[in-house]
Amino acid sequence: MITFDHFNFNVMDLDRSLQFYKAALGLLPVREKEAADGSFKLVFLGDGKSDFLLELTYLRDRKEAYDLGECEYHLAFVTDEFEELHEKHKKMDAVCYENEDMGIYFIKDPDGYWIEIVPKR
């Protein structure tokens, strides 16, 4: 049997990304791994409800922003607090796209990754 485990985003500023994911989505670190030489650090974030994790990869020597292409991929979250979260994300200036016909919206993290917010139906 195969099950989903985690998804990875590479980040330029780990502290800024950790603050964003905590504030925007309530995701908290559940485990970390750091290279013996300090060249990279992995932080796995969880929602405390599911087993799925978001892995943030920080490469110490990376200086240039990651090329995210056309951002034709995204991570999605389902919520039963859609309206409250939408207002919170608007106040954070994190909303980057809204599709009112579909009843969804997207937020953008500090590195430009898109995250879809879907109401529980």
pLDDT tens digits for range 12-57: 999 999 999 999 999 999 999 999 999 999 999 999 999 999 999 9
Residue type, 36: A
- CA–CA distances in Å: residue 106 to residues 52, 79, 103: 20, 13, 11
Q: What domains are there in the chain, each with its CATH number? A: 6-60+73-119 (3.10.180.10)
pLDDT of residue 70: 81
The number of angstroms, rounded, from the C-alpha of 110 to the middle of its chain's C-alpha atoms is 9
Q: Is the pLDDT of residue 94 over 80?
A: yes
pTM of the predicted structure, to 2 decimals: 0.91
